[in-house]
Structure 1
Amino acid sequence: MARRRIMTAFGRIKEIWRYPISSMGGERLEGTELAEGGIAGDRIWGIIDRRDGTVAAPEKRKHWRPLPNLPARLKGDRPEIGLDGSWIDAGSSLAGELVSAFLDFPAALHPHVPFGSEARDHIAPRYQRADIHIVTSASMNRLAGLLEDPSQVDSRRFRPNIVIETDASRQGFVEQQIIGKCCRSGRRRW
């Protein structure tokens, strides 16, 4: 049996996030169970442009850029979309109308199927994702130091599942140090 390398003290968990609908805003969690595949309910639905069937990509296409400002949460096993204090089931026709009006073009929400597969009324994610997306305060501080306007650096722009507040001795883009290693939070490893 191969030995797993365990990280020494790296920092503390500052924020935990879940994004039920890929490319939209998410919900901050006080705690969660980690399982194979990541955080339950994370990025389980997606959005398509009904004009051509392309899947939302806010980091690549300008017409998708407003999406992270539209919040989503999980209620039971179904995503909901929030607007003006109200929450609407993502599977409802009203949700599709809301997202279309928000984006100013026809859009539709659908559950995801596994990467590379297809199913009726479901869409495949546009990329194979990792189970957990981690961002550290050290990396955000480094990025802020490179920009004219450091206030642009906000963890939510990166849509991480976990934000780690690293200790002051860690500088730069330190996420590379944890690739392939086993991390522990409290009594659990992941």
Structure 2
Amino acid sequence: MLIESLWRYPVKGMTGEKIYETALMPGQPIAGDRRYAISIGGDKVANSPAGTWFKKGHFLQLMSHEALAALSCVVQGDHLQISKDGLQLLEANLAYATDVAAVESFFSFYMNEHMPGRLHGMPKVVRLDNQAFTDTNAPWITLGGSASIEAYAAATNTTPDARRFRLNMMIKTDTPFHEASLIGHDIMVGAAHLRIVAPVGRCAAIDVDPATAKRGQDTLSIMRDVFGHTDLGVFAEILSSGTARTGDSITIL
């Protein structure tokens, strides 16, 4: 097996960045992955201490806010750029309170325009520095096999697109769901030691086409009928540090 591509998703629910390499650190997610999230305006997030992890239901995310998929997001450090259809809509430095307020106002306007009634109040930008706003509060990364993506696409009559599943590391595989056989095993990615710990159970977010930002058919029911499960990808815990690069081989220990 080898790494086909690497991804990080700086803002929860928004488009990802394809990267060539990334440092893997014990007890850490991919650097910069899901560092930021935008709340739906609930008081619980607004009144909680900075750095508090919450479940995805508190945030704008693709399971219920597919309009996010139309926004292209690039984050370098604290510098955020948001564009749509090639047109830049917003530029902000998230280290400054005035810029954070501008981002919150942008999402309030955007969501009320495109998906009215989905906010509970003014959105709030939140950040985690040593964790990620993933669907688990454990600092794990995610891996998935290319053959699994292709099998899903064939079963659902969709275009194979790894972005639909928002995995950190895509592995070149020949057998669908081969990565699931690695659960409970340790692997080496370059000098980094990882342990595969659990499957990634899917939600309705995968019904959103990342190319069109449109929600399609219920593909979870198709997965149940065709595959007997709704898992695609696996969680991995980083046990020792190293650098992962596109094209690196993966060794099962």
Q: Please confirm whether the aligned pair reaches a TM-score higher than 0.5, indicating the same fold.
A: yes
Query: Given the alignment of the two structures, is residue 162 of structure 1 paired with residue 169 of structure 2, yes or no?
Result: yes
Contact preservation (8 Å) 2:12, 2:61: no
Please give the root-mean-square deviation of Cα atoms over the aligned residues, in Å.
2.7
Runs (5+) with no aligned partner, structure 1: 1-10, 116-123
Q: Bigger CA drift: 39-48 or 95-104?
A: 95-104
Runs (5+) with no aligned partner, structure 2: 45-57, 113-118, 195-253
Matches within 5 A, 1:111-130: 111-112=127-128, 127-129=136-138
**C-alpha distance in 2, partners of 1:160/1:182?**
19
Matches within 5 A, 1:1-190: 11-36=1-26, 37-50=28-41, 54-59=58-63, 61=64, 64-76=65-77, 78=78, 80-83=80-83, 84-85=87-88, 87-90=91-94, 92-104=100-112, 106-112=122-128, 127-129=136-138, 131-147=140-156, 149-151=157-159, 153-166=160-173, 168=174, 171-190=175-194
State the Cα distance separating 1:161 from its structure 2 match. 0.6
What code does the residue aligned with 1:82 have?
Answer: I
Aligned residues: 163
**Percent identity between the two aligned chains:** 24
TM-superposition CA deviations, 1:130-169 (whole Å, max 9, x none): 511112111111111211x231x41111111111111x3x
State the Cα distance separating 1:129 from its structure 2 match. 4.6
**C-alpha distance in 2, partners of 1:129/1:69?**
29
TM-score (norm: length of structure 2): 0.56
What code does the residue aligned with 1:111 have?
Answer: R
State the Cα distance separating 1:52 from its structure 2 match. 6.2
**C-alpha distance in 1, partners of 2:138/2:187?**
19
Change (3 A) 1:109 1:15: same
Look up the SS of the partner of 1:50 in the other structure: coil
Structure ranking higher in strand proportion: 2
